[in-house]
Amino acid sequence: MNTILEVKDLSMDFGGLRALDHLDLNVVEGEIAAIIGPNGAGKTTFFNCITGIYNPTEGEILISPPGKKRKKINGLKPNRVTKKGMARTFQNIRLFSNMTVLENVMIGRHCRTSSGIVGAILRGRSTIKEEKDVVDFSYNILKKTGISHLVNEFAKNLPYGAQRRLEIARAMATEPFLLLLDEPAAGMNPRETRELDELITRLRDEDNVSILMIEHDMKLVMSLSDRIFVMDYGRKIAQGTPSDIINNPVVIKAYLGEDIDA
Amino acid sequence: MIKAQEIKKSFLVSLWFMFLTFPIMVIRVNPIEKFVEWRWKNMLVVGIGSFLLSFVWRYMLKKKEAGEKRAETGESGKTFLIQRILEERRFYIPLVTGLTIIAVAFPFIFSMYQTSIMTTALMYIVLGLGLNIVVGLAGLLDLGYVAFYAVGAYSYALLNYHFGLGFWSVLPIGAVLGFIFGVLLGFPVLRLQGDYLAIVTLGFGEIIRLVLENWNEFSFGPSGIANIDRPGFFGIQFSLQTASIYLYFLMIGLVIFTIIVVNRLQNSRIGRAWIALREDETACQAMGIDKTRTKLRAFALGATWAGMVGVIFAAKTTFINPASFTFLESAMILSIVVLGGMGSILGVIIGALILILLPEYLRAFSDYRMLLFGAIMVIMMVFRPQGIIANIRRTYKFNE
C-alpha cells in the first residue's frame, strides 16, 4: 500500500494559541480514513493547513499522488494544492449560491482546463470542444452523485442534503486522488446519512479516490472508515481501526471526561 | 382590525413627515416686510400626501416580499418572462429586427442634438458593460473606474497633439494603455476585499485626476487640450452633422462588439471563475482557481473598455480637461451597473439609457429633474435591489 499523504510533526500557532501540536498522520491509497475528536480539537484547522488556507508554523506535509513523485506542499496556495490533487468540502457549506448546480461543478473543472480570455472571445474550435467536455464531465459527476435532476437550479435553492452532495460533486470535478470531507453528514437525517455512506463508498471503489473525512456521526464513521484518527487539544491521541478506537480508554476519556472510579 | 392598524401606521407616518417638513414648507420669513408667514395649507398637503403614499409604499413592499418568497420556492413569474423572450426565436427575432431598424433610422429622423445625446448614452452603455465585468461579474467594487476612462481620453488627446496620430491608430493604443493601467492598479489591490478595495480604487481615481490637473507640462493642467481631431474615414473630412452621425454608428458598432464579447466571456471558463470569485473567495480558491490572476484579468479587461471609450470621448468632444473625470463620473457608471442589474447585459443597457437619457428629457421639469432622478434611484433600490433585470444564468439541456 502506498502512502499518499504524509503529515509530519505539524504545528500551527495562532498568536499564543497552539491549535495543532506536533501532529503526525498519514493516508494510504484507497482507504477511507476519519478524523474524530471533540469540538475545538483542531480538526478543521488541520484541514486548512493541508489545503494551503493556513501556512503551518512547523512541520511537513508531503503528498505522493499515484504514479507521481513525492512532493512537499507546505506554503502552497490553496489553488495549487487542489491542482496537485487534493480537493475539499467545507463544514459550513460554501457553494456559489447564485450559480447553477452544473456551473458549480464546472468551476471544479477550471484547474484541469486552460482556455483563456482570447479563446473565450474568439470561441474557436478548441474552446468549444473544451467547453463541451467540461459540461459532459460535470453532468456525469452530477449523475454519479445523484443530483443530475437539479442541473439548472440555483445552488442556493437546493435542499440541504443536495447542497452537501453538490459540494462533494464540485470537489470530485477537480479529479482528486484524495478527497477531504469536512463533516459531510452534519445536519443530515438518518436516511440522508445512509445515502451518503453509500455515495462515499462508491466514490472510493469506482473513482479510485482516497478519502479523509472529519465527522461527528459515530455510526457513519464506524461503518465507513478503515482507520480512525482521534484528536484532542491539537494532538493526535489515538489511531487505529474502528474496533481499536471504540475500546480505547484514552478516547473514551477525551469524549466523556475522567472516569469517577479511576 | 388590520385596517385600523394600517390607518394608525399611515397616520403616524404623515405626522412625522409634517414635523420634518415643517421648517421649510410652513414657515416663511419675509425679511423685507418683517413678518412671518405661516403656510398651513402646505402642511395639510404634505400630511395627506404622505398618508396616501404610505399605503402605496406598504403595498409595494408586500408585493416585493411575496415575489421573494415565490423566487425561493422556485416558481418565479417575472424573470421567466424575460428569459422566454430572450430564448424563443419568435419573440427574439422581431425584437432584434425592430431595434436594428430604430437604431439605423435614429440619426436620420431626429436632430443632431438627439443623435449626440444618444451617442453619449451609447458610450455609457459600453462603460457600464466594462465596469460590469469588474463589479457585476467579479464582484470587485471599483470606485475609480473613471481613471481608465481618463487614461484613454488623454492618450488620444496627447498623441494627437504631439504626433498628429489619428483616431483609428490611437483606439487600440488607448485600449492597451487602459489594460496596462488596469494591471498596474490591479497588483496592489489584489489582497483587498470589499470596502477596502473600494477605498483604494477611489484613491487611485483621484490620483489620476490630480496628476492630470497639476502636471502642466504633461497634460496642460486644468485648461485641458482643445482641437482634438474627430474620427476620420480614410482621410475624408466630414461636416459637423455627418461627423456626429458617423460617431453614432461607430458607437453602435462598439456596443454590439462589447455585447458579443461580454456575453461570450460570462459563459466561459474565465467568466465562471469571476462569478465564483464574487460568490465565495475562499471556496473559489479551494476549487483550484488562481485568485490573483482571475482578479487581474477582470480589472485589466474592464479597464480596456474604459480606455477605448475614453479615446472616443476625446474624439467626440474635441476638448478634454480633468473636470470630465471626477468621482461623480465613476459613481454614475457604477449606478448604471447597480440600477440595471449586476452581471446582466440587458440590465446595464437599460440602466444606461435610463440614467443618461432621463435627465436630458426631464429638462422640461428642470427645477425638479435632479430631485426626480434621485427619487427614482431610491425607489428602485428599495423595491428592486437586484436591479431592473436580474442576472440570468445559462441553462443546459441534456437528453438522457
Measured over the CA atoms of residue B178, residue B179, residue B182 and residue B188, the dihedral's sign is: negative
| pLDDT tens-digit profile, chain A (262 residues) | 788 999 999 999 998 889 999 999 999 999 999 999 888 889 999 999 999 999 999 999 999 988 888 889 988 999 999 999 999 999 999 999 989 999 999 999 998 988 888 888 888 888 899 999 999 999 999 999 999 899 888 999 999 889 999 999 999 999 999 999 999 998 888 999 999 999 999 999 998 899 999 998 888 999 999 999 999 988 999 899 998 888 888 888 887 776 555 4
Q: Nearest CA of chain A to the CA of B164: how many Å?
A: 31
Each residue of B380-392: pLDDT tens digit? 888 887 788 877 7
| Nearest beta carbon to residue A117 from set B270, B291, B393 | B270
Are the C-beta atoms of residues B25 and B77 closer than 8 Å to each other?
no
Same-domain check for residues B194 and B269: yes
Number of H helices, E strands in chain B: 16, 2
Is B268 close to A120, i.e. CB distance below 8 A? yes
Task: Number of A to B CB contacts under 8 A, please give it.
Answer: 118
Spatial distance between the Cα atoms of A93 and A169, rounded to a whole number of angstroms: 13
Spatial distance between the Cα atoms of B334 and B167, rounded to a whole number of angstroms: 27
Same-domain check for residues B176 and B44: no
Are the C-beta atoms of residues A174 and A111 closer than 8 Å to each other?
yes
Exposed (0-12), middle (13-18) or buried (19+): which is B195, by Cβ within 10 Å?
exposed
Q: Is residue B121 included in any domain, yes or no?
A: yes
Q: For chain B, list residues whose CB is within 8 angstroms of any CB belonging to chain A.
A: 72, 74, 261, 264-265, 268-273, 275-276, 279-280, 282-291, 297, 301, 391, 393-396, 398
Superfamily name and number for A1-85+176-262: P-loop containing nucleotide triphosphate hydrolases (3.40.50.300)
DSSP secondary structure of B267-335 = TSHHHHHHHHHHH-HHHHHHTT--HHHHHHHHHHHHHHHHHHHHHHHHHHHS-B-GGGGSHHHHHHHHH
Q: How far is CA A149 from CA A144, A154, A207, A244, in A?
A: 11, 12, 21, 41
Spatial distance between the Cα atoms of B331 and A118, rounded to a whole number of angstroms: 30
Residue B209: per-residue pLDDT: 92
User: What CATH number is associated with residue B149?
Assistant: 1.10.3470
ipTM of the complex: 0.90
Are the C-beta atoms of residues A73 and A62 closer than 8 Å to each other?
yes
Same-domain check for residues B263 and B115: yes
Residue B76 has pLDDT above 50, yes or no: no
Q: Is residue B88 included in any domain, yes or no?
A: no
The cell for A188 is 443530515
Q: Is residue B90 included in any domain, yes or no?
A: no
Q: Nearest CA of chain A to the CA of B209: how many Å?
A: 30
Domain ranges of chain A: 1-85+176-262, 95-174
Which of the listed residues B20, B53, B76 is the one where a domain comes to its end? B76
| Alpha helices by DSSP H, A30-124 | 43-50, 78-84, 101-108, 117-122
> Which residues of chain B have a CB within 8 Å of the CB of A96?
275-276, 279-280, 283-284
Same-domain check for residues B216 and B363: yes
Same-domain check for residues B121 and B57: no
Q: Is residue B392 included in any domain, yes or no?
A: no
Q: Strand, helix or coil at A113?
A: coil
Q: Is residue B41 included in any domain, yes or no?
A: yes
> Which residues of chain B have a CB within 8 Å of the CB of A111?
287-289
Same-domain check for residues B71 and B121: no
Residue appearing with cell numbers 488607448: B174
Let me know the angle formed at the C-alpha of A34 by A33 and A40, rounded to the nearest 5 degrees.
150
Q: Is residue B259 included in any domain, yes or no?
A: yes
Q: Is residue B214 included in any domain, yes or no?
A: yes
Spatial distance between the Cα atoms of B145 and B202, rounded to a whole number of angstroms: 8
Q: Quote the domain boundaries for residue B62.
A: 2-76
**How many domains does one find in chain B?**
2
Q: Is residue B388 included in any domain, yes or no?
A: no
